Structure 1
Amino acid sequence: MNIRTVLGVGALLAAGALAARPADATVYPLGDGRAQIFGSVETIETVYEDTLIELARRYSLGYEEIRRVNPGVDPWLPGAGTKVVLPNRRVLPHGPREGIVVNLPEHRLYYYPKPRKGEPPVVLTFPVSIGKMDWRTPLGRTTIVARIKDPSWYPPASVRKEHAERGDPLPRVVPPGPENPLGAYAMRLGIGSGSYLIHGTNNPDAVGMAVTHGCIRMYPEDIATLFSMVPVGTPVYLINEPVKVAWVDGELILEVHPPINAEGQSVEPEVEQFSRQLDDALGPLTAAINWDLALETLAAARGVPVTVGVRASLDYPPELLEAATTPDLQSAGP
């Protein structure tokens, strides 16, 4: 695997420690460590053989992630010359910038390696699958307690029962190999009696969806990279942050993903909670906010950062001034 560094930051890993992958993993520099947004949104044209699943993997995206921003594109037969948006611009989640952060609504993992002397802090990010309904991935802080190469899978009784009811019985142990759903690498989390893993997969097409039994599933090439970098003891933060807000050069940036409820299901965003979050982001600042655009961004939950306001100390773009009003929360909504 090649690791491509944006803006000329030095490589983090020796090439010999890495495995091949369809696309470069990108290391994003964070300057003085206070950066809140990184990356870019790009548009490409497909060739006849492309599918959205293949493009997602090639450009380090999950399936749901690429599908949401390309709703009019046939995921299996987009056809030659079709324009496809690649949503690789992101607001960083709030909270600690250390170790691993997994934002469940985003279906995305962030890794903040400890900066080397003389180098700026950086972040690597990867799409992941999370727990499906009734098998929710837990929230909270934990650590990596074990690293396993070529793991065997010991499906718990509940999973064996589920498969048996579907007419697909499982053995008590699945040895390493192409039939093992854990893939070639696994890292055990110190939560839930050690039953939760960050691991690879033998079904990469499902990365970026809520399809697991609570574990965090990665593309084979991504788990190989992460495994080579992450030692035992690394902190892991499992968070639920569907709405991310940031001030960037005087602009208020909003990024919304479908929220997850207590059962792990995606639900519609709540307007009142969203309004409070924007108020918190504003603090004592005065700003012009395009509430129509903000509420549209909330309802769409496409996962793409959108500028919805500017600080009052800046010259207002006319379109923001025209709509800089307080929303009617009684009538507003998705």
Structure 2
Amino acid sequence: MSTMIRCCAGLLLLLLLSPSLLAREYPWQPGNHLVGELFHVPARFEDTFHLLGKKHGYGYLELLAANPDIDPWLPGEGTAVLMPGQHVLPHGATQGILINLPEFRLYFFSPEGDSVVTYPIGIGREGWASPTGETQVRYKEANPRWFPPQSIIEDYALRGEHLPRMVPPGPENPLGAYKMNLAMGAYVIHGTNKPFGIGMRVSSGCFRLDNNDIGELFPQVPLGTPVTIVNQPFKLGIHQGALYLEAHTPLDEHGLPTALDRFAAIRDLMSERAELTYGMRLDWARIREVVDAAEGVPVKIGEPLRL
């Protein structure tokens, strides 16, 4: 059996059988900007980034960004693979659900205000961009039926696939076992029958979670829970007195990687978050490295000026 066949067979078996959650829960207090920690995992011979992501709670693209010099399909026995488990929290809401599109992540702040859980998610693919804005959870359903809109039926037809007007609950249902409708058009936070796409641009604009993750999140989210969706490729935060920058590949309004003027965007961000940059000695050479690399991990870029 070839190496690639063994890898694919192992991946399929893990995706079908693994009951593990991709969620990562971190202690948090209002005012904290960073949560979690970075760590390395030694790869086994049969590992791929998809397997490691499924086991440790990360999407494929974020592992790819954090480990640019490692083969994602054959990392190699004993190779130390970085798990990007530290996050600068996106700027904005710190209640309910917060989604940041460029990092393919959903954050859920506990009602008690003492922890945050984060999940890798799939977002809208080319031509089906996920929205941004503020909304709330309008409706929840377990074992949902799927009534695909006409646009999706037509999209399937263009690919030579027939899609019925209603897909019943079960393993063929793209919504998985749970869905949470947003008060924002037809957009939904839901499970999936295709877990391979978690952490990628794969959906028709909705937000796709691993089935085990949505099963954990669903009962914790009451109707009316606020949901904030942002597009923040660059995030700033203070941690232990120093300034950190986390950079992801920017996405345009269509959900595609964009060649925007990243340094103009960083200067604008520094100006907008002046309360964080005031009194800091900034390392602009390091800032350029972080922005160019877009590895999705927090990096220290400034320290307090010493008078």
TM-score by length of 2: 0.89
Residue 202 of structure 1: aligned partner = 193
Is 1:63 the counterpart of 2:54? The answer is: no
Is 1:212 the counterpart of 2:212? The answer is: no
1:1-334 equivalence runs, <5 A: 21-23=19-21, 25-31=23-29, 33-115=30-112, 121-192=114-185, 195-269=186-260, 270-283=262-275, 285-313=278-306
1:73, distance to aligned residue in structure 2 (A): 2.3
Quickly say closer, same or farther: Cα 1:83–1:51, change in 2 above 3 A: same
Residue 330 of structure 1: aligned partner = none
C-alpha RMSD of the superposition: 1.6
Alpha-carbon distance between aligned partners in 2 of 1:26 and 1:87, rounded to the nearest angstrom = 11
Which structure shows the higher helix fraction?
A: 2
1:299, distance to aligned residue in structure 2 (A): 1.4
Residue 16 of structure 1: aligned partner = none
Structure 2: give runs of 5+ residues left out of the alignment.
Answer: 1-17
Contact 2:95 2:226 in 1 (8 A): yes
Alpha-carbon distance between aligned partners in 2 of 1:93 and 1:141, rounded to the nearest angstrom = 14
Contact 1:246 1:281 in 2 (8 A): no
**Which residue identity is paired with 2:32?**
A
Contact 2:22 2:58 in 1 (8 A): no
Contact 1:132 1:211 in 2 (8 A): yes
Alpha-carbon distance between aligned partners in 2 of 1:169 and 1:24, rounded to the nearest angstrom = 32
Alpha-carbon distance between aligned partners in 1 of 2:218 and 2:162, rounded to the nearest angstrom = 30
Contact 1:288 1:311 in 2 (8 A): yes
Give 4+ residue runs of structure 1 displaced > 3 Å after superposition.
23-26, 279-284
**Which residue identity is paired with 1:126?**
Y
Aligned length: 288
Alpha-carbon distance between aligned partners in 2 of 1:268 and 1:292, rounded to the nearest angstrom = 20
Summarize deviations over 1:41-71 as a string: whole Å, max 9, x none.
1111111222110111211111101111122
Alpha-carbon distance between aligned partners in 2 of 1:296 and 1:56, rounded to the nearest angstrom = 25
Alpha-carbon distance between aligned partners in 1 of 2:111 and 2:69, rounded to the nearest angstrom = 41
Relative contact order, CA 8 A, sep 6+: which one is greater? 2
Contact 1:46 1:80 in 2 (8 A): yes
Alpha-carbon distance between aligned partners in 2 of 1:250 and 1:274, rounded to the nearest angstrom = 20
Contact 2:34 2:238 in 1 (8 A): no
Which protein is bigger by CA-based radius of gyration?
1
Alpha-carbon distance between aligned partners in 1 of 2:140 and 2:154, rounded to the nearest angstrom = 28
Alpha-carbon distance between aligned partners in 1 of 2:205 and 2:134, rounded to the nearest angstrom = 15
Structure 1: give runs of 5+ residues left out of the alignment.
Answer: 1-19, 315-334
Alpha-carbon distance between aligned partners in 1 of 2:242 and 2:249, rounded to the nearest angstrom = 23
